[in-house]
């Protein structure tokens, strides 16, 4: 992508993500496939064992839920990087906007309520 990447986000199913950028007043949007396989293979289990034996970290950077992090830890992983700044920001902003809408009487931005649209 050309220019500065302004944002990137994964689809809820983790199979695609989009990134947006701009350079010299021209914007780009790219949609990418992401077929991430989080299967714990025998080779990965061996890596976990080797890392533990040498007292170094080996683990996962995952943001689609706690269950996968637990699975990797039970398989021998000893390092978890939970989520990413952009994902945490997105989730918190969505929760905050929903709370604000509810408290202000906005019917999810449809314009059908008697209050302000957030």
Distance (Å, whole) CA 116 – CA 20: 30
pTM of this prediction exceeds 0.75: no
Query: What pLDDT digit, counting tens, does each position of 79-91 carry?
Result: 887 776 667 777 7
Beta-carbon contacts of 35 under 8 Å, excluding residues fewer than 6 positions away, are 15
**Percent of the chain clearing pLDDT 90 (strictly above):** 1
Residue 19 has which token pair?
Answer: 């990134």
In this prediction, residues 31-42 reach a mean pLDDT of 77
Coil, strand, or helix at residue 29?
Answer: strand
Residues 109 and 117 sit within 8 Å (Cβ to Cβ): yes
Residue 113 has which token pair?
Answer: 């309520």
Query: What pLDDT digit, counting tens, does each position of 51-75 carry?
Result: 889 988 888 776 667 888 888 889 8
């Amino acid at each position: 992508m050309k220019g500065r990447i302004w944002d990137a986000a994964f689809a809820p199913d983790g199979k695609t993500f989009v990134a947006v950028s701009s350079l010299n007043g021209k914007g780009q949007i790219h949609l990418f496939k992401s077929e991430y396989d989080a299967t714990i293979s025998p080779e990965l289990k061996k890596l976990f064992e080797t890392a533990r034996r040498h007292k170094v970290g080996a683990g996962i950077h995952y943001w689609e839920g706690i269950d996968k992090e637990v699975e990797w830890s039970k398989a021998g992983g000893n390092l978890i990087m939970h989520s990413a700044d952009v994902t945490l920001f997105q989730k918190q902003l969505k929760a905050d906007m929903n709370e604000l809408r509810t408290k202000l009487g906005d019917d999810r931005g449809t314009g059908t309520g008697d209050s302000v649209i957030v």
